[in-house]
Amino acid sequence: MNLEKYKNHLFQNIKKQLSAWFDTDEAETVTAPELYRFLHSIKGTSGTLELRGLQQISENLLKDIDEDSRESWKKKSLRNFLYDLIELTYEYEHFEDKEPKSKKNSNSPLIQLIDDDVSMLILLKDALEEQGWMVITNTKPEKAIHQYFEMQPDCLISDLHFSHTSGFQVLRDLQEHNEKYFIPKIILSMKNDRETRIYAYKMGADDFISKPVDIEEFVVKVERHLQRKKIFDQSVLIDELTQVYNRRFFDRSLKRFFDELKRTKQPFTISAIDIDHFKNVNDTYGHQTGDRVLIEFAGFLKTNVRSTDIVYRYGGEEFVIIFPRTTGTEAKTKLTHLIKEFSNQVITSKDGKTFSVTFSAGVFMVEDETATPSNAFKNADQALYKAKNSGRARVETSEASSGSYRKKIMCVTVIDDDVIIRTMLNQIFQSMTLDHWELDVADFEDGHTFFQSGRADHNLDHFLILDGVMPVMDGLEVLQKIKKLPNSHLYKVLMLTGRKSEYDIARALKLGADDYVTKPFSITELQARIERLLKRGN
């Protein structure tokens, strides 16, 4: 007897009931008897259909419910209670469709892939992600260049021929920046003559692969470039751009300062420093000017601190200074003076415009031998964000016990007509902890409801996960409306789409989606991708 149609019927009934509970306003709560009958039905049916995992989960959940109780469940509590069942239902439903992939996490190598041939883009993205690497995609070179500076990928792969520009122009635009950074760049091209290859290498390409692409060879070449990048990063202790120490050396140094604290009992102070409104500098004057600001700022810090103080570039526009044998009060006084002095310096952009910038700082004095390096830096970093949230161009001091600074709020919205997917994604975000973001999470079954809620107009950073195909208003229509909003620049959009929806992927990227994920997807891998986008996009 073929049980598949009965299994599908069970999945549809589960989704129908969950949708009735979570998508309607008919009832704010669900009674214990209702929940008991729902789980009891799943238990009996799943057992008959030989869905043993579903049967076991429903049995375990039933143990926590009294059929005769008058208890009522609020929707949020009910989502949390049923999450394991919801996730397993999704996995069962899509088991046959799923392709085995390597495990990814938020520290996996990040590859940027640029190609306006969406069929090729999909093929290469799938091949790379099967290796456990993360891939961000672009069909527009202009947007890709901005994303390159923002996300700082570990490898760049670009087609040579676009409708309005060329891969050579992409290389040219990145060349000045990339002289300071080691990021392997691979060019793909239908044109494979000697002159084209030589010119690509002269423009900064590290490799050249002709189309049609041999996928196996392509993957091996990318892997070799990523290995070289990893070895380079591990061996270099000086930041390529600013010529101050890098984050790797900071991690080593901090351990050494803790050892010295235990030996000498002399405190030292850590300061986390961030250039104010640095994104506006890049957007207004260009990334080359932004790089010059970083170089001048690093030089300013090195020149104006003691020879025993150590300056590091932690990442992006964030720096760290370790002040040996210095109290928090002494470090704060010094940094306050430096903020005033640096704000008076005039910086000239590439096109001759002048401007000035400020910076904010947080300090934490380390005097407790039982503290850990990671907690010490976290306290300094929290003080920094307290300074930024208090008006910038100032210094704040952290107290180890307080941790009371206001995180920046980010709206996170899931729009998908599948209640299973919405519930899983909602749970992922609710359980996610980010150092500097407080996530305001909501989900909607369609775009019309989302816009009616007024949430789209919030003047806050917004991370949107959007299903491509929905009734009432599909994902592409939602993207079109968002693109017209005055706050559209605050959005990051991750599109969920079917594996064969090539046209939808092309349209989504054209309309401003930052990335796409094909359904069905691995929850673990999707969570890692979300964390990477949120953390690297800060």
Asked if residues 424 and 368 have their Cβ atoms less than 8 Å apart, the reply is: no
Pairing of strands 437-444, 134-138: unpaired
For residues 207 and 47, give the distance between their C-alpha atoms in angstroms, rounded to a whole number: 55
For residues 493 and 163, give the distance between their C-alpha atoms in angstroms, rounded to a whole number: 24
Under 8 Å CB-to-CB from 207, ≥6 apart: which residues?
A: 184, 185, 186, 187, 221, 225
For residues 481 and 185, give the distance between their C-alpha atoms in angstroms, rounded to a whole number: 35
For residues 249 and 113, give the distance between their C-alpha atoms in angstroms, rounded to a whole number: 30
Compute φ and ψ for 274, nearest 5 degrees. Answer: -140, 130
* Helices and strands per DSSP (H, E), number in the chain: 20, 19
Asked if residues 117 and 159 have their Cβ atoms less than 8 Å apart, the reply is: yes
Domain 408-536 class, CATH top level: alpha beta
Cis amide bond preceding 212, omega within 30: yes
Domain 247-397 class, CATH top level: alpha beta
For residues 393 and 276, give the distance between their C-alpha atoms in angstroms, rounded to a whole number: 7
Q: Which amino acid is at 323?
A: F
The set of long-range contacts for 435-438, using a CB threshold of 8 Å and a minimum separation of 24, is: 435/378, 435/381, 435/382, 436/381, 436/385, 436/407, 436/408, 436/538, 437/407, 437/408, 437/409, 437/410, 437/461, 437/534, 437/538, 438/406, 438/407, 438/408, 438/409, 438/410
For residues 2 and 68, give the distance between their C-alpha atoms in angstroms, rounded to a whole number: 37
pLDDT at position 354, please?
A: 92
Other residues' Cβ atoms within 10 Å of the Cβ of residue 58: 24
Asked if residues 129 and 108 have their Cβ atoms less than 8 Å apart, the reply is: no
The reported pTM is 0.59
For residues 295 and 277, give the distance between their C-alpha atoms in angstroms, rounded to a whole number: 16
Under 8 Å CB-to-CB from 26, ≥6 apart: which residues?
A: 20
Asked if residues 444 and 453 have their Cβ atoms less than 8 Å apart, the reply is: yes
Compute φ and ψ for 467, nearest 5 degrees. Answer: -75, 140
Summarize pLDDT for 280-314 with one digit per residue, the tens. Answer: 898 889 888 998 999 999 999 999 999 999 999 99
pLDDT at position 77, please?
A: 87
Query: pLDDT 10s per residue in the chain (538 long)?
Result: 567 777 788 888 888 888 888 877 666 788 888 898 889 888 888 877 777 777 878 888 988 888 778 888 888 888 888 888 887 777 666 654 444 444 555 568 999 999 887 768 878 888 898 898 989 888 888 888 888 887 788 999 998 887 667 778 788 777 766 566 788 999 999 888 999 999 989 888 999 999 888 999 999 999 999 999 988 887 888 888 899 999 989 998 999 999 889 888 899 999 999 999 998 898 889 888 998 999 999 999 999 999 999 999 998 899 999 999 999 999 999 999 999 999 999 998 888 899 999 999 999 999 988 888 988 999 999 899 889 888 999 999 986 534 445 567 889 999 988 888 888 888 888 888 776 678 899 999 889 999 999 999 988 889 999 988 787 788 889 999 998 999 888 898 988 886 556 777 887 888 888 888 877 677 777 777 777 777 654 4
The string of DSSP codes covering 203-242 is: TT-SEEEESSP-HHHHHHHHHHHHHHHHHHHHH--B-TTT
380 torsion bin: left (phi>0), alpha (psi -120 to 50), beta (else)? alpha
- In what helix (H) or strand (E) does residue 526 lie, and over which residues does it extend? helix 523-536
Summarize pLDDT for 147-184 with one digit per residue, the tens. Answer: 888 778 899 999 888 766 777 878 877 776 656 678 89
Under 8 Å CB-to-CB from 95, ≥6 apart: which residues?
A: none
Domain 110-235 has CATH 3.40.50.2300: yes
Provide the 3-class DSSP secondary structure of residue 316. coil
pLDDT at position 105, please?
A: 56
For residues 401 and 395, give the distance between their C-alpha atoms in angstroms, rounded to a whole number: 18
Asked if residues 379 and 400 have their Cβ atoms less than 8 Å apart, the reply is: yes
Nearest to residue 236, comparing CAs of 228, 245, 227?
245
pLDDT at position 509, please?
A: 83
**Tokens 């509970």 belong to which residue?**
21
Same fold flag, 110-235 and 408-536: yes
The DSSP output letter for 98 is P
pLDDT at position 179, please?
A: 61
pLDDT at position 178, please?
A: 59
For residues 120 and 126, give the distance between their C-alpha atoms in angstroms, rounded to a whole number: 10
CA distances from 270 to 253, 261, 332, 525 (A): 11, 13, 10, 35
* Beta partners for residue 410, in sequence order: 439, 461
| The token pair that represents 476 in the structure block | 């592409």
pLDDT at position 29, please?
A: 86
Q: For the chain, give every domain's residue range.
A: 4-93, 110-235, 247-397, 408-536
* Beta partners for residue 273, in sequence order: 319, 361
Asked if residues 335 and 361 have their Cβ atoms less than 8 Å apart, the reply is: yes
Asked if residues 297 and 359 have their Cβ atoms less than 8 Å apart, the reply is: yes
Rounded to 10 degrees, the C-alpha dihedral 125/128/132/133 comes to: -80
